[in-house]
Structure 1
Amino acid sequence: MTSDVVVVGSVNVDLLLTVDRHPTPGETLLGGSGAQSAGGKGANQALAAARRGASTGLVGAVGDDAGAAVALARLTAAGVDLGGVATVPGPTGLAVVTLARDGENTIVVVPGANAAVSPAVVEAAAGTITAARVCVLQAEIPLASATAAARIAAAAGVRVVLNVAPAAALPLATLRLADPLVVNEHEAALVLGWAREAEGLSAGEPPSSPSSSSPSPTEGGEVTPEAGLDLARGLRELGIPGVVVTLGGAGAVGISSDGEWTVPGLRVAVVDTTGAGDAFVGALAASLARGAGLHEAARDATRVAAHAVQRLGAQDSYPEKDEPLP
């Protein structure tokens, strides 16, 4: 099947726990509620792309347990092609999300079936990957598999959107296939440091951006756009064609052959940030598949992410195609 977007990535069940505040180490707290829902960075991004109108396929794996039906329900309803999703013995991936009253969360991911998305599985899905306009990848499947998918896509002229989340030390050759690399400010600093080490550069100095290794927060705790651009410059100077750094409530910044740009954040009432980054990546991929430039795609993605943080859950919070956005 030819698609606008193919996502190679994780599929999870999210267990969402609400608390007044996050516990300190060794502390026990009583939670307010607990609920299961669909999640996983790959599945989230596929749903977000599909709901922005992109024909979307997913390559991944679920277990042979009851969690698989929970994990795939919204994708099926959205018309995502699940022909590349294998069922393997054992549990479906699990993410335990603890959400505090201020909207911030902590997440612990147990890979489960996602560990079975091997390079061989990716190679078997090469036809699906090469038939897409955009291939989206993250780091919740084995890194060798993400690397294989990037190589297959790039060799066929398919645009690679690489979201290095959670932060991981991918080979620099893989990072250089990304157009764009999408990371938040924390992931950007880590990936930049690892990439510099791989190139034998000083751990304290990016190629020509002295402030890149330590983003400067504002008084409110957000990273400034200029600090984000420093990180993006450092990454691009390592040979990555396009870079997008997301800054939470401060918006996003980017750099590519078309130059540098900033997308201001949208001030909305934050309920839950779970999955907002995935909403951004999926919406970005859908726009790029339609032929939008990176700056334009990031503007739309920022609006989708702002919609998502106003609602509980990951996939539960993603807007339908015609739903009004901030």
Structure 2
Amino acid sequence: MSGRLWHLGNVVVDLVLEVPALPERGGDVLATRTEHTPGGGFNVMAAAARQGLAVTYAGAHGTGPFGDRARAALRSEGIDVLLAPRPQPDTGFVVCLVDADGERTFVTSPGAEAALTPADLAELRPRAGDLVYITGYSLLYDSNRTALLDLLPRLDPAVTLVTDPGPLVHEIPAEAVELLLARSDWWSCNAREAALLTGADDPAEAASILQSRLGRGSVLVRTGPDGCLLHHGERLVAVPGFAVDAVDLNGAGDAHTGVFMAALARGVDPVAAAHRANAGAALAVTASGPATAPDTARLDAFLN
């Protein structure tokens, strides 16, 4: 496989606590299970790396137990790290409370990953055939947003830019969204995010509106178990999903994006790449945890 994925998002550590119910204000509750796991951008990178794509994490990371945990996880997946650790602060973390109904409530404590600067990316020169991935989470931080928007004009036109706006897309400054729409080769989001961006509740309508706003790229809208919609060229294509017994939906979108990018890097047609990504996401939800994307052998066996 040629090409490399340069991930410009944020790796954090998820502190997952399963609770019978959320405590009332001022109250307390005992967790029935606790887990520390790398999260954020790690899940997308792991999914791509397990498909054989060379991956480099080009985001910031800190010094301390969370930074150590994040780097160890990246190493275990064969993912390169571009930048040296920040002397301070530590990598940030996310407290995730999972209640008895499976509903997830998050509180994020930003750390070193929220302090990327233009100087960090000054020498970054992805080559033709590489992919660059940007997430909306990064655009919420002033420093990261400045660094990423400074990079856009320097990208070789033959570099594929993939943007995932994320669930907080409505909080990203509008001018940043427009700059990314103008340069992105793929705008990948779920149906809720597409609706927030366009005001259209129908995913197909939202995909068409997004396509009309893109300067040069195509749109992928994930529609859960139904699969995804691709607006590529002049066509809107519905790519069906796969029926599985879902155990944990956490990380399904990340698995989808990572597998999709790896397939694109291999030269797979976008519709076939989306079909493969649907299968990767389906397999990911059959196991508990956020980073459950399959490797190439398991995905090939499932598809065959």
Answer whether TM exceeds 0.5 for this pair: yes
Partner of 1:177: 183
Written as runs of structure 1 = structure 2, the 5 A alignment for 1:291-310 is: 291-310=267-286
Structure 2 counterpart SS, 1:147: helix
**Equivalent residue for 2:8?**
8
Counterpart of 1:249?
225
**Contact 1:134–1:288 under 8 Å retained in 2:** no
Aligned length: 289
1:92 equivalent in structure 2:
91
Whether the 8 Å contact between 2:63 and 2:85 is mirrored in structure 1 is: no
Residue segments in structure 2 that go unaligned for 5+ positions in a row = 139-143
Partner residue in 1 for 2:135:
138
Cα shift readout 1:24-73 (whole Å, capped 9, x = no counterpart): 777754432111011122x2211111101111111012111011121122
2: CA distance, partners of 1:284 / 1:12: 22
Are the aligned partners of 2:64 and 2:91 in contact in 1 as well (CA < 8 Å)? yes
Partner SS for 2:277: helix
Letter matched to residue 11 of structure 1: V
2:162 corresponds to: 161
Match of 1:117 in 2: 116
Partners of 2:35 and 2:160 in 1: CA distance = 36
2-structure distance, mates of 1:249, 1:105: 19
Residues 60 and 28 (structure 1), Cα distance of their counterparts in 2 relative to 1, 3 Å cut: same
SS of residue in 2 equivalent to 1:61: coil
Separation in 1, partners of 2:22, 2:273: 34
SS where residue 162 of structure 2 aligns? strand
The answer as to 2:225 corresponding to 1:228 is no
Distance 1:113 1:52, change over 3 A: same
Which amino acid letter does the alignment assign opposite residue 150 of structure 2? A
- Residue 213 of structure 2 corresponds to residue 238 of structure 1: yes
- Aligned to 2:82, the other structure's residue is in SS state strand
Determine helix, strand or coil for the equivalent of 2:58.
Answer: strand
Q: Which residue of 1 aligns with 2:141?
A: none
Tell me, in whole angstroms, the C-alpha distance in 2 between the residues paired with 1:122 and 1:269: 42
1:266 and 2:242 matched: yes
- 1:94-115 superposed Cα distances (whole Å, 9 cap, x missing partner): 1222234454433332221111
Tell me which amino acid in the other structure corresponds to 1:277.
G
How big is each residue's C-alpha offset from its partner over 1:179-238, in whole Å with a ceiling of 9 and x where there is no partner?
Answer: 21011112112223xxxxxxxxxxxxxxxxxxxx241xxxxxxxxxxx211101011112
Q: CA, structure 1 residues 47+250, in 2 after alignment: closer, same or farther (shift >3 Å)?
A: same
Secondary structure at the residue paired with 1:6? strand
Partner of 2:105: 106
Does the aligned pair in 2 maintain the 1:61–1:88 contact within 8 Å?
no
How far is the alpha carbon of 1:87 from its aligned partner? 3.1
Relative to the length of structure 2, the TM-score reads 0.86
Alignment CA distance shift 1:144-1:272 (3 Å): farther
Q: Which amino acid in 1 is paired with 2:81?
A: L
Distance 2:276 2:24 in 1: 37
Distance 1:236 1:256 in 2: 8
- The alignment yields a C-alpha RMSD, in angstroms, of 2.3
For residue 32 of structure 2, what is the amino acid of its counterpart? G
**Are positions 1:187 and 2:204 aligned together?**
no
Match of 1:148 among 147, 150, 154: 150
Distance in 1 (CA, whole Å) between partners of 2:242 and 2:23 is: 29
Q: Is the 8 A contact 1:233 1:255 kept in 2?
A: yes
1:322 and 2:282 are equivalent in the alignment: no
Aligned residue for 1:254, secondary structure, equals: strand
Q: Secondary structure at the match of 1:157?
A: coil
Query: Which amino acid in structure 2 is aligned with residue 160 of structure 1?
Result: L
Gaps of 5+ in 1: 193-212, 216-226
After TM superposition, list the pairs within 5 Å mapping 1:42-57 onto structure 2: 43-57=42-56
* Deviation of 1:286 (Å): 0.6
